[in-house]
Amino acid sequence: GAGVSQSPSNKVTEKGKDVELRCDPISGHTALYWYRQSLGQGLEFLIYFQGNSAPDKSGLPSDRFSAERTGGSVSTLTIQRTQQEDSAVYLCASTWGRDTQYFGPGTRLTVL
């Protein structure tokens, strides 16, 4: 019974570079969420995948952000041409749809 895992745990990149953040949800969970948490702040919703439905991308802050979920399991959040304001902790959560969310430990992204 592994929980939600995320990789890398920390990522330091230079402004303008692209980054990919990975989330492995709990096996069998049909829904997957990405959130962003800036230092000392709350959770900002980014994107939501539910089964085979089209993802809810309403929280993505710009077209530099995209996410995909392959085979209904692993998800990758991609940030292109990173900016310093993208520095934050990116959290992933999953649920089987009739239960609460289970969060991963997050990826701390630092853009220099």
Partner 1 sequence: GENVEQHPSTLSVQEGDSAVIKCTYSDSASNYFPWYKQELGKGPQLIIDIRSNVGEKKDQRIAVTLNKTAKHFSLHITETQPEDSAVYFCAASINFNKFYFGSGTKLNVKP
Query: Which residues would be at the binding site for partner 1 (CB under 8 A)?
Result: 4, 31, 33, 41-43, 45, 48, 50, 56, 91, 93, 95, 97-106
Pick from 40, 8, 32: nearest CA to 109: 8
Centre a 10 Å sphere on the Cβ of residue 31 and count the other Cβ atoms it contains.
19
Rounded to a whole number of angstroms, the minimum distance from the CB of residue 41 to partner 1 is: 7
Contact 52, 97 (CB under 8 A): no
Which residues are registered as beta bridge partners of 76?
Answer: 22, 68
Pick from 81, 92, 80, 85: nearest CA to 110: 85
Q: Which is nearer to partner 1, 43 or 74 (CB)?
A: 43
Q: Which is nearer to partner 1, 29 or 82 (CB)?
A: 29
Rounded to a whole number of angstroms, the minimum distance from the CB of residue 20 to partner 1 is: 19
Rounded to a whole number of angstroms, the minimum distance from the CB of residue 27 to partner 1 is: 18
Q: Which is nearer to partner 1, 10 or 83 (CB)?
A: 10
Kindly state the DSSP code that residue 86 receives in the 8-state scheme: G
Q: Which amino acid is at 106?
A: G
Q: Which is nearer to partner 1, 4 or 88 (CB)?
A: 4
